[in-house]
């Protein structure tokens, strides 16, 4: 049975804070007013029973479903009206079920601490709408000593990551908007619990070079109810710059080339009373990949925004 379990092992660690569609993040088109702070508490549930071994989509009959639960605490702060800071920390729990109703034990714990900055480069108003452009940088590093080579149950990839992104958004006067972003995520080394691995050649070391990746996103959205509600549909793509494929009947590893195409829906609602309170929800599915899970995920969360030093009007 063990070889079939390993056949299902996947690199899931790339799904971190930088990819979450939640309120006031380094990858959206919103900015915090100077002195405002926004807290987010978000819960996400993801599952899959198919995966791509290289470019071949497979199903493992031994394991019916792999489950992944993430509780995220995040804060965003407006340093100035054009510069925001972010901090986030997820708690992850994993396990898998079997066709007869049994379970394989996973793991749980704190994943990666993420810090970020977003700067508004351009804001230009026209007769029909408004252009905005942003640049962001995020850094994440493991916040606990979890096992990065324990897939698909690992909490993450166990390596430091540094991401640069550029975003541009155009919003029409009727509330419709489009947004596009492109970025590069540098990923460092992770330490496995073995002194040898194969990556198109033999390596006698526990340190594995995790492939970096290019990311792209396209979003179409609209504001409703006097900007109390926004709804988005999105397409997100990630392409590793190097790496090898999962070999049949072998455990995958952090050196694998992981590519993913994902579609999603996101909504956020701002309450008039109590002022500053909001709700967020999302759904996403990986529709194509390489050494990746065919993951479906849903999430829901609550936000609260207020002036930290002096009362401010909410920037929605």
DSSP-assigned letters across all residues of 209-265: E---EEEEEEEEEEEETTTTEEEEEEEEEEEESS-BPPPTTS---TTB--EEEEEEE
Residue 102: predicted pLDDT = 65
Distance CA 19, CA 56 (A): 24
Give the number of residues written for the chain. 316
Residue 235: predicted pLDDT = 97
Quick check: helix, strand or coil at residue 288? strand
Distance CA 297, CA 69 (A): 9
Q: Find the mean pLDDT for residues 204-220.
A: 96
Task: Write down the mean pLDDT value for the chain.
Answer: 88
Report which of residues 261 and 307 the model is more confident about: 261
Residue 46: predicted pLDDT = 96
Give the distance between the most distant pair of CA atoms in the chain.
65
Contacts within 8 Å (CB) and 24+ apart, 99-105: 99/61, 99/62, 99/64, 104/5, 104/63
Residue 290 has pLDDT above 50, yes or no: yes
Band of the pLDDT at 64, cuts 50, 70, 90? Answer: confident
- The DSSP element (H or E) to which 137 belongs, if any, is strand 129-142
**pTM to 2 decimal places:** 0.87
Residue 58: predicted pLDDT = 87
């Amino acid at each position: 049975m063990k070889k079939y379990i390993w056949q299902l092992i996947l690199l899931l660690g790339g799904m971190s804070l930088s990819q979450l569609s939640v309120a006031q993040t380094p990858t959206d088109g919103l900015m915090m007013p100077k002195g405002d702070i926004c807290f987010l508490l978000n819960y996400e549930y993801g599952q899959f029973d198919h995966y791509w071994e290289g470019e071949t989509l497979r199903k493992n009959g031994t394991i019916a479903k792999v489950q992944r639960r993430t509780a995220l605490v995040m804060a965003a702060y407006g340093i100035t009206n054009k510069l925001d800071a972010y901090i986030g920390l997820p708690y992850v729990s994993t396990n898998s079920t079997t066709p007869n109703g049994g379970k394989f034990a996973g793991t749980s714990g704190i994943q990666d601490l993420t810090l970020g900055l977003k700067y508004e480069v351009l804001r230009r108003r026209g007769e029909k709408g408004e252009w905005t452009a942003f640049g962001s940088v995020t850094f994440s590093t493991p916040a606990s000593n979890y096992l990065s080579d324990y897939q698909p149950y690992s909490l993450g990839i166990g390596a430091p990551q540094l991401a640069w992104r550029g975003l541009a958004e155009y919003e029409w006067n009727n509330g419709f908007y489009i947004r596009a972003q492109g970025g590069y995520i540098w990923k460092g080394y992770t330490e496995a619990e073995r002194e040898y691995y194969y990556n198109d050649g033999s390596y006698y070391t526990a340190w594995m070079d995790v492939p970096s990746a290019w990311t792209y996103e396209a979003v179409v959205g609209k504001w409703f109810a006097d900007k109390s509600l926004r709804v988005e549909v999105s397409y997100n793509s990630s392409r590793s710059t190097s790496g090898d494929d999962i070999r049949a009947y072998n455990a995958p590893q952090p050196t694998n080339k992981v590519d993913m195409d994902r579609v999603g829906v996101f909504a956020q609602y701002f309450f008039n009373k109590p002022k500053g309170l909001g709700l967020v929800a999302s759904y996403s599915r990986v529709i194509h990949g390489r050494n990746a899970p065919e993951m479906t995920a849903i999430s829901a969360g609550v936000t609260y925004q207020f002036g930290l030093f002096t009362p401010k009007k909410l920037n929605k």
